[in-house]
């Protein structure tokens, strides 16, 4: 009877918390500056949440330390659902490359739902005179250490996929690290750096204008905006996939009833016609999975990138 009473009380408490939520403003911590793609995404869903739940949703930007600053603040917040964290792929990679017990995804931070999935696209400057991944690899083998690719520095997804291809293909290509995402675009267009792995929306215009050549999409399916560009598997690199993703987490210990409310309204926000349409027009897709599915996905990502980090000998900065 005591066990049943305790279980009933726990269930009643959880339901009571859910029924009273939210009763004050909420916030979304974003590990990127204002105007960035993650910031835009957070503001899109923040307004939808505010409209649905009847409370303001404030977006707070906390860039720096490869996402760790925002993650640390989120993990320290009260586990009541009023603080959300828009985690990026960088956070998952950081948990493998240089784990910090303050704020690991799936541990100190609990998953609610994944938002967008954006495959990277491999592009080269036309001056390299290669029309496929196969030709790129052949040229790299003929000129070891002479070809270059851009990355956003140690631990960035661009570095990891670049090193993954080098390892798989047995080639030597020089990494040129930049201080931020997309900071390499001017040098890529001018031919100062020869290749890069970039989200599609950033390079649509240069590709269509012939200023860059797209060699492969690092995903399991081709992109509607570039139907002629093969996947990495089709291009001869089976298994090599690199998806830039983001999703909402809350501090561990947040009541399940509250997580369920957030999940329900987040998925509605993700799939609102204006949000979904804008996401798909940039070469991305909506995930909208459950907390359990998101947790499985994060573990799979950690395993995948952990293997790449070990095999390629990548070290933290």
- Considering the domain architecture, whether residues 86 and 166 belong to the same structural domain is answered as no
Instruction: Compute the residue count for the chain.
Output: 317
- Counted domains in the chain: 2
- Provide block-wise average pLDDT over 10 residues at a time, the chain (317 residues): 50 55 97 90 96 97 90 97 96 91 96 97 97 97 96 90 95 92 91 96 94 97 95 96 96 98 98 95 94 97 94 83
CA atoms within 13 A on the CB side of 139: 16
Domain match, 113 and 249 both: yes
Q: Which positions ≥6 away from 186 have C-beta within 8 Å?
A: none
Q: End-to-end CA distance of the chain: give it in Å, rounded.
A: 56
Chain centre distance of CA 204: 19
User: Quick one: pLDDT at residue 18?
Assistant: 58
Instruction: Give kind and range of the element (H or E) at residue 15.
Output: helix 2-19
> Is there a single domain that holds both residue 129 and residue 207?
yes
Residue 223 lies in a domain: no
Q: What percent of the chain has pLDDT over 70?
A: 94
Phi then psi dihedrals of residue 303, to 5 deg: -65, -45
Do residues 187 and 153 share a domain? yes
- Residue 36 within a domain: yes
The CA distance from 235 to 169, in Å, is: 12
CA distances from 181 to 178, 197, 244, 270 (A): 8, 10, 12, 24
- Please give the pLDDT value at position 152: 87
**Domain enclosing residue 295, as ranges:** 24-117+244-312
Domain with 130 in it: what CATH number?
Answer: 3.40.190.10
The answer to whether residue 228 is domain-embedded is no
Residue 10: the pLDDT is 44
Token reading at 146: 């002479």
Same domain, 175 and 95: no
- Please tell me the distance from the alpha carbon of residue 60 to that of residue 28, in angstroms, as a whole number: 6
| CA angle, 41 then 176 then 88, to 5° | 20
Which tokens is 165 given? 């291809």
Q: Say whether both 262 and 297 belong to one domain.
A: yes
Is 239 domain-assigned? Answer: no
Residue 42 DSSP SS3? helix
- 236 within domain boundaries: no
Question: Same domain for 107 and 127?
Answer: no
Q: What pLDDT, on the 0 to 100 scale, is given for residue 280?
A: 93
Q: Can you give the CATH number for the domain in which 43 is found?
A: 3.40.190.150
Given a contact cutoff of 8 angstroms between Cβ atoms, the answer to whether 18 and 260 are in contact is yes
DSSP label of 78? -
């Amino acid at each position: 009877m005591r066990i049943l009473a305790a279980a009933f009380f726990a269930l009643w408490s959880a339901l009571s918390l859910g029924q009273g939520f939210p009763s004050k403003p909420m916030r979304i911590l974003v590990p990127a500056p204002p105007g960035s793609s993650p910031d835009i995404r957070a503001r899109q869903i923040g307004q939808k949440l505010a409209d649905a739940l009847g409370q303001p949703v404030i977006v707070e930007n906390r860039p720096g330390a490869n996402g760790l600053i925002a993650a640390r603040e989120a993990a320290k917040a009260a586990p009541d659902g009023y603080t959300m964290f828009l985690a990026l792929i960088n956070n998952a990679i950081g948990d493998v490359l240089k784990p910090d017990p303050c704020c690991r995804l799936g541990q100190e931070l609990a998953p609610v739902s994944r938002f967008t999935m954006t495959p990277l696209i491999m592009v080269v400057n036309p001056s390299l005179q290669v029309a496929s991944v196969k030709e790129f690899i052949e040229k790299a083998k003929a000129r070891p250490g002479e070809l270059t690719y851009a990355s956003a520095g140690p631990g960035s997804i661009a570095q990891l996929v670049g090193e993954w291809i080098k390892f798989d293909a047995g080639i030597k290509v020089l990494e040129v690290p930049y201080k931020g995402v997309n900071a390499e675009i001017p040098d890529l267009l001018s031919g100062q750096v020869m290749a890069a792995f970039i989200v599609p929306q950033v390079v649509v215009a240069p590709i269509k204008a012939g200023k860059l050549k797209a060699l492969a999409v690092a995903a399991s399916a081709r992109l509607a905006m570039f139907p002629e560009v093969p996947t990495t598997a089709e291009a001869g690199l089976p298994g090599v996939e690199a998806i830039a993703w983001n999703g909402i987490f809350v501090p561990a210990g947040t009541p399940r009833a509250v997580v369920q409310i957030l999940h329900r309204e987040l998925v509605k926000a993700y799939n609102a016609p204006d949000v979904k349409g804008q996401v798909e027009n940039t070469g991305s897709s909506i995930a909208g999975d459950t907390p359990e599915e998101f947790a499985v996905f994060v573990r799979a990502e950690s395993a995948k990138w952990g293997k790449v980090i070990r095999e390629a000998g990548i070290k933290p900065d």
